[in-house]
Amino acid sequence: MALASIVGLGDPRLVNLAGKTPIIEPANVVLIGVRDIDREERASVRDSGIHVFTMRDVDELGMRRVIESALRQVTQHCSRFHVSIDMDFLDPLDAPGVGTPCPGGVTYREGHLAMEMIADSGCMCSFEVVEVNPILDTANATSKLAVELALSAFGKRIL
């Protein structure tokens, strides 16, 4: 809902909250790893101009090509970008502590590759992790993975 509001979709009271609509042009937004969208949202997302890479795209193209394409897209009109990791985008086997787990998500390694490539771009200016639910987590696995992904996004390297 927050993303919808800032790209000009949804309730006018939220969409116009900042006095500018849209706050972010939909063409400057990329979603990666999408695999479960509400039926009502599909048409809105499809028609919005937001660039979407589904899990099928990740499977067919590989995470490296998806991230390269996403980085080209978001830096076409912007020199900096924000990253929001919804931990639901990971497979529940790696991130069980989320509110809406959905099988078939991004793997542990694909998530790290994405964050490492984002760090390599040098264009990330802000970062957030959402959708971690400690009550549903197993041995704090999701929270630990969220921290590891954040470290990769901020430049932590193997060597």
pLDDT tens by residue, 86-98: 999 999 999 999 9
Whether residue 45 is contained in a domain is answered as yes
Whether residue 159 is contained in a domain is answered as no
Whether residue 15 is contained in a domain is answered as yes
Tens of pLDDT, residues 55-73: 999 999 999 999 999 999 9
pLDDT tops 90 at residue 116: yes
Q: pLDDT category, 36, cuts 50, 70, 90?
A: confident
Give me the domain span that covers residue 71. Answer: 2-153
71-82 mean pLDDT:
95
Total structural domains in the chain?
A: 1
Q: What is the mean pLDDT of the chain?
A: 94
Q: Contact 119/155 with Cβ under 8 angstroms?
A: yes
CATH number at residue 131: 3.40.800.10
Whether pTM > 0.75 for this model: the answer is yes
Whether residue 13 is contained in a domain is answered as yes
Whether residue 44 is contained in a domain is answered as yes
Q: State the Cα–Cα distance between residues 157 and 62, nearest whole angstrom.
A: 21
Whether residue 158 is contained in a domain is answered as no
Whether residue 58 is contained in a domain is answered as yes
Cβ-defined contacts of 75-80 (< 8 Å, 24+): 75/121, 75/123, 77/25, 77/27, 77/28, 78/28, 79/123, 80/123, 80/124, 80/125
46-60 mean pLDDT:
95
